[in-house]
Amino acid sequence: MITLALSKGRIFEETMPLLAAAGIEVTEDPEKSRKLILATTNPDVRVVLVRASDVPTYVQYGGADLGVTGLDVLLEHGNQGLYQPLDLRIAACRLSVAVRADYDYATAVRQGSRLKVATKYVGLARDFFATKGVHVDLIKLYGSMELAPLTGLADAIVDLVSTGNTLKANHLVEVERIMDISARLVINQAALKLKREPIRRIVEAFESAIPSVAAQ
């Protein structure tokens, strides 16, 4: 049996065409079912539904053989014990710094001010500001980062941006682009050895179905 860890929402939806290329269809709709283990049309493949931030943990410790996870989650987790063969080019976005439209970020940085930064990505934010030589107090949040500068909790946020609509709707502006993000296929290293053939077939099918750069 091959177990694939996915999170509900965009990762699940955007992985479906890749699974289809491997001749695999999930037989239940995760939005309509409370089940956490979903069967597929291939009796040897099942999908487990986990929180997006738990995918690397499941794969690292063998709760799943493979998983699909954002590069943001993967880098924040650390990729110990995970083989990462493919950039799937799905769930594409970027990790950025944003501030209130009326906050003068450039001057604050130039003057060496200490910035309060709210984020779910404490590790990535710490590394980014350390490289820039900017002193920061990091405030860990689990969601709705955009609210932090609006309420005075923070001067800036480090969050994901795609269309920019969420920033715009909250009168925030992107002031730094930290890195491009997309979803990655990750594989448990022991599973790679023990289940080499079925995993190779899935990897090859995924690879053949990765959206082309031009189509994005």
* Phi, psi (deg, nearest 5) at residue 114: -85, 120
Distance CA 153, CA 105 (A): 16
* CB nearer ligand ATP, residue 52 or residue 186: 52
**How many binding residues for ligand ATP (CB under 6 A)?**
18
Question: Residue 52: which of ligand ATP, ligand PRP, none does it interact with, CB under 5 to 8 A by kind?
Answer: ligand ATP
Query: Cα separation of 153 and 147, whole Å?
Result: 8
3-state secondary structure of 37: strand
Nearest to residue 4, comparing CAs of 51, 49, 61? 49
User: Does 189 sit near ligand PRP (CB under 6 A)?
Assistant: no
Q: List beta partners, residue 187.
A: 66, 83
- The reply on whether position 70 binds ligand ATP by CB under 6 A is yes
Quick note: the x/- pattern for ligand ATP over 110-149, rule CB under 6 A, is: ---------------------------------x------
Question: Which of ligand ATP, ligand PRP, none does residue 11 bind to, with CB < 5 to 8 Å depending on kind?
Answer: ligand ATP
Which residues lie near ligand PRP (CB under 6 A)?
143, 159-166
